[in-house]
Structure 1
Amino acid sequence: MKFVAKTLMGLENVLAKEIENLGGNNIEIVKRAVVFNGDIELMYKANLFLRSALRILVFIKKFDAKSPEELYEKTKSLNWTEFIGLNQTFAIDATVNSSIFTHSKFITYKVKDAIVDFYYEKYGRRPNISTYKPEIKINVRISEDQIELSLDSSGESLHKRGYKVESLDAPLSEVLAAGILLNTEFQNFENFLDPMCGSGTLLTEALMINTNFPANILREDFGFMTWNNFNNRLWKEIKEEALTQVHEPTIDFYAFDKNRKAIFATKKNLSMLKYGNRIKVDHKDFFKLKNCERFDFIIMNPPYDIRLKDDEILSFYTNIGDKLKQDCAPCIAWIFSGNIKAL
């Protein structure tokens, strides 16, 4: 089987390494994705374990089409009974980058019509369309005249881990947080600190990595669970084996924030994880921290307030740098921010 693991720009190499460690074959890095081969067991494991993947697609067919009519005919020619049952609901998700096909909604309707007409001609009736939790989700990717059809095995995006019960404004994506952490060497240090923890995404993902807690073990639903070939016994065995590999933290984790709502959210989210109660979470202002040098690894995603003027933002980041140099040396510090100018 051929799979496409989707990810965020810049995390392709991280994801490829994860897939290699999981046992994927013929790994190929492409833009915002990694292509690989494996079996149904690997597909289950990819959805469960991959921390830097957004979704796992199962390749159906690739062909060229130079007109909407050709797209329709070639889509309709496939044996859709292999993928969609008559009594199942389905939906189409299209990504288009083409001078021939310029509207993703039009592509969605065209592919939908082709599938529906296939069933009408063969059975005189068809599966229903559903945009809310469809049982089968078809992914269409078009690059100029190249059409790629896939099954979405994940359902909802894999960044929805299942532990985030409390959140603040503009939370960091779990997939992005995991990708950042996998690019660091935080596991080689003894004390991990996020001094501006927000709702605790960096901290929670770091704890999951350190304890080998599967990324999506708390999720109840995946797209593949509604497929006709879903092997529930195998899925349960994979999860049970995964949980036997979870171990106690090997690092002391700390999380601070001057916002009490952030502290509440972080504690609630950590409570969803095994060993989450081992994390030291406290209401503290980073700039007033004492004995900061005891933390040998510091990582933060500073809040970015668009209401601040440029000079105030630059001053804020300057103060972060001064605090790290004056009070936290010789720590290793990672600062993740969308404000390149301030960095």
Structure 2
Amino acid sequence: MIHYFATVARGLELIAAQELESLGAREVRPDFTGVHFVGDYALMYRVNLWARTIFRVLVTLHEFPCSNADVLYREVQKIPWEQYLKPHHTLAVNSTGGNRQLNHTHFTALQVKNAIIDQQRDQFGQRSSIDTQQPDILVNTHIHQERCVLSLDSSGTSLHRRGYRPAMGLAPLKETLAAALLDLADWEPSKPFLDPFCGSGTIPLEASLKALNIAPGLFRNHFGFESWPDFDKHLWQQLLREAKNSQISELKAPIVGSDRDPDILEQARLNAQQCEVAEQVRFKQTELSQLEVPAEEGIIICNPPYGERLGNTQELGDLYKLLGDVLKQRFKGWTAFVLTGNKELAKRVGLKASRRFPVYNGSIPCTLLKYELY
């Protein structure tokens, strides 16, 4: 069994742990901004292909006490790197965390890189080139207090970059967070879904991918593990075939996104085409005051502007009040979830939240507010 660590956004560790268990991971253990788990290579491929809420899948190579740069260099040299990369492979080293002696991530990454290429020179008389953009092998170094964990990054670019979204709005939500909001809201594909501030469509699109059982990794053109010496192309092709064959052709309930801005809705429609759900998800240009109920009951999830990047606070206060009024008057029988990073604005909704979920939108601490509308 191989030990893995999935990196996730702060606050979403438990959601990601549940998702990993559903994909077959074992010994699942949430940690700060990540989840430990074990499994075979097929699981690593499957998680990269199917996971909706995680950023990266790291394969643990070596964990050791590490107090300074000399110890780091020595320990990195103990690893038989020829198993993981040959001199013709390109290499990059990413470093996070630190301690008193190793307090600069760039220096730490340099030490690791030097230890690897020095070993290659001794063994082969040649070394890997460095490619920071799209390396064949991406080594991850994480230092916390006096311990260091060295891993291989099996994902390459972050998994939130699904590959279907060339068009983004002004304040785009990461796809991983959108997927996690659907989980926090206990949304099921049998329930009608509405996002009245859909922007470039991230939440409705993630809802449609989930409802149609479309693996988010199908839209990416490359994963890190595809460049590894032991890449099992036959197994990977089999998993891709299974994913394509398990797709559902039609939604069980409507998924609707609306926004007042026609240009941004064009972006949403373009993104829907890219992920092949344009015939399924509906995007409508609507002022919030004109919002219509698409079904007798359902789930609303929205991410209205909260002053970090868009709009000004006075105007936004009026918008939140209008949102509360529209929900109260027209959406009886529905459950609404509003993501906001501004407590004062949240008060203007004028409804009592039945639950509050703390989450982070990037570095912004936010709250997902649940309103049961009677």
Give the structure 1 partner of residue 352 of structure 2: none
Cα deviation, 1:111-149, whole Å, max 9, x if unaligned, reads: 111111111222222111111211100000000110000
The 1-side partners of 2:296 and 2:273 are apart by 26
Cα deviation, 1:237-281, whole Å, max 9, x if unaligned, reads: 001111111112112111111001121011111112344312221
Alignment of 1:207-286 (within 5 A): 207-247=208-248, 248-286=250-288
One of 313, 323, 326 as aligned partner of 1:323: 326
The 1-side partners of 2:124 and 2:281 are apart by 58
Relative to the length of structure 1, the TM-score reads 0.96
Whether 2:35 is the aligned partner of 1:28: answer no
Letter of the aligned partner of 1:181 in structure 2? L
**1:59 is paired with a residue of what secondary structure?**
strand
Alignment of 1:1-343 (within 5 A): 1-187=2-188, 190-247=191-248, 248-291=250-293, 294=296, 296-305=298-307, 306=309, 308-343=311-346
Deviates more, 1:180-189 or 1:113-122: 180-189
Cα deviation, 1:10-47, whole Å, max 9, x if unaligned, reads: 11111111111111111111111111111110000010
Whether the 8 Å CA contact 2:142–2:148 is kept in 1: the answer is yes
**1:41 is paired with a residue of what secondary structure?**
helix
The 2-side partners of 1:242 and 1:155 are apart by 20
TM-superposed CA distance for 1:314, in Å, is: 2.5
The 2-side partners of 1:129 and 1:290 are apart by 55
TM-superposed CA distance for 1:52, in Å, is: 0.5
Considering only aligned residues, what root-mean-square deviation do their CA atoms show, in Å? 1.6
The 1-side partners of 2:245 and 2:171 are apart by 34
- The change in CA–CA distance for 1:79 and 1:190 in structure 2 (over 3 A counts) is closer
The 1-side partners of 2:293 and 2:42 are apart by 48
The 2-side partners of 1:279 and 1:188 are apart by 12
Letter of the aligned partner of 2:274 in structure 1? M
The 2-side partners of 1:40 and 1:17 are apart by 20
TM-superposed CA distance for 1:340, in Å, is: 3.0
Gaps (5+ residues) in structure 1?
none
Deviates more, 1:70-79 or 1:182-191: 182-191
Whether the 8 Å CA contact 1:61–1:150 is kept in 2: the answer is yes
The 2-side partners of 1:34 and 1:119 are apart by 32
Letter of the aligned partner of 2:69 in structure 1? P
Whether the 8 Å CA contact 1:189–1:296 is kept in 2: the answer is no
Q: Structure 1 residue runs of 4+, over 3 Å off?
A: 290-295, 304-312
The 1-side partners of 2:159 and 2:109 are apart by 23
Relative to the length of structure 2, the TM-score reads 0.88
TM-superposed CA distance for 1:98, in Å, is: 1.9
Deviates more, 1:331-340 or 1:197-206: 331-340
**1:46 is paired with a residue of what secondary structure?**
helix
Q: Percent of pairs identical after alignment?
A: 31
Whether the 8 Å CA contact 1:189–1:297 is kept in 2: the answer is no
Letter of the aligned partner of 2:164 in structure 1? Y
Letter of the aligned partner of 1:301 in structure 2? N
TM-superposed CA distance for 1:188, in Å, is: 6.4
Whether the 8 Å CA contact 1:62–1:149 is kept in 2: the answer is yes
Whether the 8 Å CA contact 2:201–2:257 is kept in 1: the answer is yes
Cα deviation, 1:165-192, whole Å, max 9, x if unaligned, reads: 2111121100111111111122165321
- The change in CA–CA distance for 1:268 and 1:114 in structure 2 (over 3 A counts) is same
Whether the 8 Å CA contact 2:192–2:295 is kept in 1: the answer is no
